[in-house]
Structure 1
Amino acid sequence: MIRYDALDALPVRGALPGLEDALAAHGTAVLVAPPGTGKTTLVPLALAGLLGHGPARRVLVAEPRRIAARAAARRMAWLLGEKVGGSIGFTVRGERVVGRHARVEVVTTGVLLQRLQRDQELAGVDVVVLDECHERHLDADTAAAFLWDVRQALRPELRLLAASATTDAEGWARLLGGAPVVEARGTGHPVEVVWAPPPRPVRPPHGMRVDPALLAHVGAVVRRALAERPGDVLCFLPGVGEIARVAAGLGDLGAVDVLQVHGRAPAAVQDAVLSPAERRRVVLATSVAESSLTVPGVRVVVDSGLAREPRVDHARGLSALATVRASQAAGRQRAGRAGREAPGWVYRCWAEAEDARLPRFPAPEIQVADLTAFALQAACWGDPDASGLALLDPPPGGAMAAARSVLTAVGAVDAAGRATARGTTLARLGLHPRLGRALLDTPGDAAEAVALLSEEVPRAYGDDLAAALRAVRRGGGGSETGRGRREGGAGRAGGQEGAGHTGGHGSAGRSGDAYAARWRAEVRRLRAVAEGSPGARPHDSTDRSTHDSTDGSATARPTTAPASDRAPALTPTLTPDRTAALVAAFAFPERVGRMVGGSYLMVSGTRAELAEGSALRGAEWIAVAVADRPIGRGHARVQLAAAVDEDVARLAAGALLREGDEVGWSGGDVVARRVERLGAVELAVRPLADPDPALVRDALLDGLRQEGFGLLRWTPDAVVLRQRLAFLRACVGDPWPDVADEALHARVDEWLEPELGRARRRADLARLDAGQALARLLPWASGQAGRLDELAPERIAVPSGSRIRIDYANPERPVLAVKLQEMFGLQESPAVAGVPLLVHLLSPAGRPAAVTADLASFWRGGYKDVRAELRGRYPKHPWPEDPATAEPTRHTKARQAR
């Protein structure tokens, strides 16, 4: 029996006529409706014709999260007075409840992508609703682009609706071919904002770290809200670890239940949160509760103001989740949860003045996430570089290049980026392409380890993949050793302990049991997929989406993975531990690492460190399945890995195995070795007695680049020659050569090659005459070389008859340092190549007495002061009153008289 009273109370009802008209006229529309108006539940029912009017249609609703998909389906079924499985069904990863006559099916965006790859026409579907578009998840953006292609090329009658509470409506309208924008005016209940900043400054979030003082403050605000306001409290926190910490601080609330909800929480806990309760509740949630969910009884929201977003370090092949300030759009979504059923309140744990400085919308996932799976989807769709896809934001070129590198390495795409048959298979596995490669290529039963890595692993299992597998086989409850607990990081975020009631503590055992149940279901699915069983149905029951990991639990994946695409064969016995190690190594071959100097050097060249007390300490080789690089740290931090041996390392990263002569400049000299290496990891090294002369030459040149041409023998004449040439280059230009270091490196073949060809080590360079080599650069061919002494002489004659050396150290103004008495009678300053010399006039003792570039002016003015100061100190030397007419001399007065 349809619950018309509940349907009539939904404010979006008033927008239905306009929405139907827009879809009828254009086939596409954008619906903007505030939280709580019924856009997720009432609109699909109306479009499907299930409310007693309108044509019967089959409607597919895509949600970004599994918890939202299940909740939306159950709410719609309740509104119709049915159970899920009749007119309303849902499909999420590992769970499908869809009846034969279903008119509305709610799926995750990951499931929708799988269906589109299998059946581009979406046969039998009349309308697709993309819900919560404002969240800008990568799968949702991709699905929208694919659907637009389908409508343009295959099914112009397919209707598309983009729906959101807060979004760039105009952007989506442009993307959908100028779609009309329909707005539903919310007549929901008012929500009062209470600003509740911390009493003292707290440290801003850094990487995954959140200041414990802020979490303590959030807990205090929850207590304040319970005391000041009626109803249940919904508190938003960035990740599972933060939820657990706040829950621990609320353990003494007594008559108040504390629930923890996130994307990995057991279905029973999620159902309990979405059901009315007799006791008062505090619900601690990640962003999974921002949209598409109504938590009954909630009148108060406490917003920490924080969120988690992915960050990818393509250079190191690592990714991390970063804690960031939540956007204004997210803040509005969160606040809206308080006004669903009655007037409410939102306590914001920041100052009102900070609110205007928050970003308007969250960063689009396509700009910050690992794009490997997206690139495979695009390649299978027939658009390898995604240039033809209708996307609000284009994928970054660097991220796409890194993704194509991974896909090429696993054989998913060819040299042109087109999907191979293997790539098509990988795309349909419902796994990240890395894990798909491990499932296909690992000998034996890889499903258990792949299933473990496909979802967030409880941190209580530790960082040893083999031990984690043993723990999950036992049904959870923690690692065997209890060591190596992770405190967060890319793909971890504090683990899974927050999944239950009892004052918010939710035991690790219960969390592990829930995880173990999901793991066993995924193992069964993967085994069926790997064996090609017709019952696997990957297109219906899989979802590679990681959007439920907005609690900080998205698996960190690197961006380069050179590896063979051939299925390997191993002769040793394949124990479960060894199979797990192979899975990690095949999925992340560039993250195989060897202990070198206190940390693991991975074949990618990045170093990784284990946590103190890790069960993996002592292993010579490991394969790192999950790692991050916290902001400000140079080394990666291992979150989950497996101990491997060198045979596994060679097999998994075989494409990076090289053996050859390596001759280079190291430690200040030429080093020649025969090296076998796996990427950056050296496996075996021996000295090379007779290295290739060409390699030696390159090493010497590298040494000269690193340490400069000071490695050569520079006689005083050679130094002066380089200075003279630099002067002529500066004041005359061509054909005089540029003798700066960069220019000399560029022309090394012309001037240094004969000598360099005879050198073998640093000591040989020190015997090379730089001046003799440099002379080869003089313009001999043009005949100008003979003018060197004319244009830039080493010495110049002065009035006394002396020939004084010119200092060309400054190529723009050479210096002539000469005793003052030797310049008597000279009216104009001497010049070379038309450039006046800067004359340093010296005292009889050879000390500078004056500096001038204009002798005539100096004789008229400055000389008087110099004469007055020095003639008493040097009475034996001539100090005439008129130096311009005096006889120049380099002698004393007595010797001059003789």
Structure 2
Amino acid sequence: MTSLPIQAVLNSLRVQFADHSQIILEAPTGAGKSTALPLAMLAWPEITGKILMLEPRRVAARNVAQFIAKQLGQAAGQQVGYRVRGESKVSADTRLEIVTEGILTRMIQQDPELSGIDVIIFDEIHERHLTTDLGLALALEVQQSLRDDLRIIAMSATLSGLPLDTLMPNAAQIHSDGRSFAVEIAYQPCPSQQMWLTHMSRVILDTITSIELAAYQQGSVLAFLPGKGEIRKLAGLLRELLDASWLICPMYGDLSSAEQDQAIRAAEPGKRKIVLATNVAESSLTIEGITLVIDSGYRREASFNPKTGVTRLGLKRISQASAIQRSGRAGRLAAGYCVRLWSQEEQGRMRKVDEPEITQAELTSMALDCANWGAKSFAELSLLTPPPAIHEQVAWGLLQQLELIDSQRKLTPLGRDAYALGCHPRLAHMLLKAKQLAQDDNQPQLCLLACVLAGIIEARGLPKKGADIHHYLTEALQGQIKQQVRQWQQSLAISGQINEAIRNASTRDISYLLALAYPDRIAKARGHEGFLLSNGTGVVISADDSLAHEPWLVVADFQETQGRNAGQVYLAARLDERLFTAELTSLVTTHVHAGWDEAKGRFFAEKHTKIGEIIIKVDTGITPERAHITAALLAQIRIKGLTILNRDELLIQLQYRVELARHFDPEHDWPCLSDEFLLASLEDWLGPHLDNIRSLAALAKVDAYGLVKNLLNWQQQQRLEQLVPTHWPMATGTRAPIRYQMPLDADGHFYHNHDQQGRALLSVRLQEALGMAQSPTILHGKMTVTMELLSPAQRPLAATADLASFWQGPYIDVKKEMRGRYPRHLWPDDPVNTVATKFTKKKTPGV
């Protein structure tokens, strides 16, 4: 430990510690920041309280704590301890505590002053886990408002793309060297992406047997894969290729502590090890004896879809930063070798860093954290990266639907209890409602059943028994699920036997409880196309599943996958329709739907009884009321466009003129009159004028031009006539009409650029333009009018925005041709100095 590079900056860090409450430490792989630094800080006399260190991954938190404790000659739980979800080893003597999985956030929420804690260390902050970002935001607020003596250290292997200096502008910045040996990089792309796992197994075999790579073959192999499924498949392929001297050790988050420890520790004498890991092994976690890395280049990335309210899993290429982290694992002990299963050219095209989880994740639990903290939006927190607005909006909306917050985003009493339970807000709502039912109706079995369902939904690695959640109830009688169910039973103070609750579970009870957690996922069968969820999303279920032909379901778990139009249902239950008129009546809504019947040529009204987007029942024969007809008229306009109105050229020209004024005269508050805006605001400008309209024919006679023009006040109408006139006064007394033309994009919307800003076209007979040296201008000289010069028979002869050049050039040819065709009209040799006329030569004085 004394030879690690971090030792070189410990004195500097300690000096800065005296004057700075915030420190940013950049320390590459192998520096010792996760181990040697917190170990050294335990001996600093100025730190009298506890040190908290946040690790983004449970495996790393436990491993780091055990390693540091070992350096002190102690077991974890004495001076050094850890707390991760489902496991804790701390005592009254613990001074350094490694925590993860949102535990820091809960500690701050429960005790905002963080009593007895002197330092918080955020390790591997570059990984940008959601819980890390939130924990840092809350810790900074505690420091600024309650604990100016609290010290915060943010540590990262790299500061590239990490806006820490913006969030912590007064922090001291310290850089440490890393310690790693040279790693030789080789690229071996897979010829066919469909067979990349087979290719990876062959690359591993070639790498550990090649004579040319003998220098690197003394150690073990670390292979990076995207997930548990790929790890299991590759393990099967390798066991067929290798003898018993090789240990195949999976490494992912769902494994037991014993299985994780086997992957981390050095191989026993006479054995070599191949560790098949997810990106859990990218940083913090040191796997002993690794000299060879085989990198698939993939990660399983979750991406939240706000339209469906579910997270989509996709296979994505890792970032360049991740590729560097992974290859560095081969050089921790000696010179190493890394094979990347993609091309060097593709390496250059990969994104620089991974997207922060806050931009990709579902945010409902984070919103509940915010509400419990007293924040009404994420913008009130000091976050490294703001989340997408729609993701945040969906999260707050779901909390309100679950009655955990009110309309002001203030936590309700039910919301406070839900936060205390510590599970997903959906499940917390189900558990608490079930507890209330157990107390009000003396049904403790119902609450126990809710605990069982929540345990199954939260469980990982369930055996495959189809989608029906009934088939999994007995899983709650053993292992981690049983332990979790017992914890909820204790938290809810509900007595009874779990096995009895499972034995008496009915379809009605199960579907009712699941509907409390997933009111937006009630599903109705729609023929051969699967099911429609009440949130409007389509899902499918395996054709051979026992639930495939049920008329109604409630879906607890479904996943969207790349390349599929509908999500795949993994957990659901039959829904008892009688619940719609009993326990689930609060989810049922009724409203009158009115429309226009094209076939019958009349308006109609229907009463729709619905659950979300699903129509349960339709009552016809209802006489449309005035409001229904108006709504149907507006709906028809939105369907068919403004052309269904009396949208004549006068209205179109008004729209063009106002758009030019908006572009060239922006300092005045011109309204938008585009089709898009007018359709979106029909209720405001058109709705009040439809009281006597009862047919589409009558609708076509509405004075749309007058109504739209009235969206301009009197001053704007006068200014518009000055800036963008409809006519131009000629010297002859004629008011020549001006037509405006505007460029439209592919969607029919106005757009402006330097080359295309629309044009004004003034049409007038050539003789009436005589004496004009230049083309007219409008919009205070910002736009030149294009002159469309007509023959005496009102046919176009030429169009020009540069009248002076026209007289000097093209006019000569026009004059030659027109003199013979129209000899009675004036075709002067000097048009600029000739008086304009609208008569023939005979009636023109002086000719």
Fold shared per TM-score above 0.5? yes
Alignment-derived partner of residue 488 in structure 2: 526
Q: Distance in 1 between matches of 2:194 and 2:359?
A: 30
Letter in 1 for 2:187: A
Structure 2 gap ranges (5+): 438-445, 496-502, 662-671, 715-725, 727-736, 742-758, 770-784, 800-806, 823-839, 843-847
How do 1:42-53 and structure 2 match up within 5 A?
A: 42-49=36-43
Alignment-derived partner of residue 399 in structure 1: 391
Q: Distance in 2 between matches of 1:148 and 1:827?
A: 78
Q: Distance in 1 between matches of 2:148 and 2:642?
A: 70
Contact 1:673 1:686 in 2 (8 A): yes
Cα root mean square deviation, aligned: 4.5
Contact 1:169 1:181 in 2 (8 A): no
1:194 maps onto 2:194 in alignment: no
Question: Which deviates more, 383-392 or 286-295?
Answer: 383-392
Q: Distance in 2 between matches of 1:729 and 1:92?
A: 63
Alignment-derived partner of residue 200 in structure 2: 218
Query: What do the CA deviations read for 1:279-302 (whole angstroms, capped 9, x no partner)?
Result: 212111111111221212211111
Query: What do the CA deviations read for 1:597-653 (whole angstroms, capped 9, x no partner)?
Result: 433121112222223433320111112222233346543332322222224467786
Letter in 2 for 1:128: I
Against the structure 1 CA distance between its residues 673 and 175, is the aligned structure 2 distance closer, same or farther, given a 3 Å change threshold? same
Contact 2:190 2:196 in 1 (8 A): no
Alignment-derived partner of residue 16 in structure 1: 10
Query: What do the CA deviations read for 1:638-672 (whole angstroms, capped 9, x no partner)?
Result: 23222222244677865542113211246676442
Against the structure 1 CA distance between its residues 344 and 748, is the aligned structure 2 distance closer, same or farther, given a 3 Å change threshold? closer
Q: Distance in 2 between matches of 1:739 and 1:283?
A: 64
Match for residue 468 of structure 2 among 461, 464, 468? 464
Structure 1 gap ranges (5+): 1-6, 203-210, 475-515, 534-572, 783-791, 793-805, 817-822, 843-847, 868-883, 887-898
Contact 1:64 1:109 in 2 (8 A): yes
Please report the TM-score for the alignment, with normalisation by the length of structure 2: 0.74
Q: Distance in 2 between matches of 1:401 and 1:836?
A: 53
Alignment-derived partner of residue 251 in structure 1: 239
Letter in 1 for 2:517: A
Contact 1:841 1:850 in 2 (8 A): no
Q: Distance in 2 between matches of 1:137 and 1:750?
A: 48
Please report how far the alpha carbon of residue 700 of structure 1 lies from its aligned counterpart in structure 2 after TM superposition.
Answer: 2.7
Contact 1:751 1:774 in 2 (8 A): no
Alignment-derived partner of residue 263 in structure 1: 253
Contact 1:195 1:351 in 2 (8 A): no
Please report how far the alpha carbon of residue 264 of structure 1 lies from its aligned counterpart in structure 2 after TM superposition.
Answer: 0.7
Q: Distance in 1 between matches of 2:37 and 2:8?
A: 11
**Equivalent position SS for 2:138:** helix
Query: What do the CA deviations read for 1:107-156 (whole angstroms, capped 9, x no partner)?
Result: 21411111111112222223222211111111111111212222223223
**Equivalent position SS for 2:428:** helix
Provide the aligned length of Structure 1 versus Structure 2.
Answer: 722
1:293 maps onto 2:285 in alignment: yes
Against the structure 1 CA distance between its residues 743 and 416, is the aligned structure 2 distance closer, same or farther, given a 3 Å change threshold? closer
Contact 1:466 1:581 in 2 (8 A): no
Contact 2:456 2:476 in 1 (8 A): no
Contact 1:752 1:773 in 2 (8 A): no
Alignment-derived partner of residue 93 in structure 2: 101
1:450 maps onto 2:441 in alignment: no
**Equivalent position SS for 2:314:** strand
**Equivalent position SS for 2:571:** strand
Match for residue 32 of structure 1 among 8, 19, 26? 26
Against the structure 1 CA distance between its residues 747 and 432, is the aligned structure 2 distance closer, same or farther, given a 3 Å change threshold? closer
Letter in 2 for 1:20: R
Contact 1:438 1:583 in 2 (8 A): yes
Q: Distance in 2 between matches of 1:333 and 1:122?
A: 33
Letter in 1 for 2:183: E
Letter in 2 for 1:518: Q
Match for residue 272 of structure 1 among 249, 256, 262? 262
Q: Distance in 2 between matches of 1:728 and 1:154?
A: 60
Letter in 2 for 1:308: R
Match for residue 136 of structure 2 among 128, 144, 156? 144
Please report how far the alpha carbon of residue 326 of structure 1 lies from its aligned counterpart in structure 2 after TM superposition.
Answer: 1.5
Against the structure 1 CA distance between its residues 652 and 158, is the aligned structure 2 distance closer, same or farther, given a 3 Å change threshold? farther
Alignment-derived partner of residue 658 in structure 1: 589
Q: Distance in 2 between matches of 1:259 and 1:322?
A: 25
Please report how far the alpha carbon of residue 450 of structure 1 lies from its aligned counterpart in structure 2 after TM superposition.
Answer: 0.7
1:350 maps onto 2:342 in alignment: yes
Q: Distance in 2 between matches of 1:289 and 1:637?
A: 30
Query: What do the CA deviations read for 1:785-838 (whole angstroms, capped 9, x no partner)?
Result: xxxxxxx9xxxxxxxxxxxxx9x999998999xxxxxx9xx9889xxxx99999
Question: Which deviates more, 739-748 or 354-363?
Answer: 739-748
Letter in 2 for 1:238: P
Q: Distance in 1 between matches of 2:684 and 2:374?
A: 49
Q: Distance in 2 between matches of 1:269 and 1:414?
A: 45
Alignment-derived partner of residue 60 in structure 1: 52
Q: Distance in 2 between matches of 1:275 and 1:58?
A: 29
Percent identity (aligned): 31
Alignment-derived partner of residue 682 in structure 1: 615
1:605 maps onto 2:609 in alignment: no
Contact 1:726 1:739 in 2 (8 A): no
Q: Distance in 2 between matches of 1:776 and 1:387?
A: 41
Against the structure 1 CA distance between its residues 372 and 828, is the aligned structure 2 distance closer, same or farther, given a 3 Å change threshold? closer
Please report how far the alpha carbon of residue 76 of structure 1 lies from its aligned counterpart in structure 2 after TM superposition.
Answer: 1.7
Against the structure 1 CA distance between its residues 88 and 776, is the aligned structure 2 distance closer, same or farther, given a 3 Å change threshold? closer
Contact 1:815 1:840 in 2 (8 A): no
Alignment-derived partner of residue 751 in structure 2: none
How do 1:170-185 and structure 2 match up within 5 A?
A: 171-176=163-168, 178-185=170-177
Please report how far the alpha carbon of residue 193 of structure 1 lies from its aligned counterpart in structure 2 after TM superposition.
Answer: 2.8
Alignment-derived partner of residue 365 in structure 1: 357
Q: Distance in 1 between matches of 2:792 and 2:454?
A: 84
Letter in 2 for 1:68: A
Letter in 2 for 1:620: P
Q: Distance in 1 between matches of 2:685 and 2:276?
A: 73
Please report how far the alpha carbon of residue 522 of structure 1 lies from its aligned counterpart in structure 2 after TM superposition.
Answer: 1.2
Please report how far the alpha carbon of residue 273 of structure 1 lies from its aligned counterpart in structure 2 after TM superposition.
Answer: 0.8
Q: Distance in 2 between matches of 1:45 and 1:298?
A: 24
Query: What do the CA deviations read for 1:853-882 (whole angstroms, capped 9, x no partner)?
Result: 99x999975579999xxxxxxxxxxxxxxx
Match for residue 129 of structure 1 among 111, 118, 121? 121
Please report how far the alpha carbon of residue 186 of structure 1 lies from its aligned counterpart in structure 2 after TM superposition.
Answer: 2.4
Question: Which deviates more, 615-624 or 41-50?
Answer: 41-50
Please report how far the alpha carbon of residue 32 of structure 1 lies from its aligned counterpart in structure 2 after TM superposition.
Answer: 2.4
Q: Distance in 2 between matches of 1:19 and 1:749?
A: 64
**Equivalent position SS for 2:394:** helix
Please report how far the alpha carbon of residue 96 of structure 1 lies from its aligned counterpart in structure 2 after TM superposition.
Answer: 1.6
Q: Distance in 1 between matches of 2:786 and 2:381?
A: 64
Letter in 2 for 1:675: H
Match for residue 70 of structure 2 among 71, 78, 88? 78
Match for residue 241 of structure 1 among 229, 236, 244? 229
Against the structure 1 CA distance between its residues 225 and 691, is the aligned structure 2 distance closer, same or farther, given a 3 Å change threshold? same
Against the structure 1 CA distance between its residues 743 and 65, is the aligned structure 2 distance closer, same or farther, given a 3 Å change threshold? closer
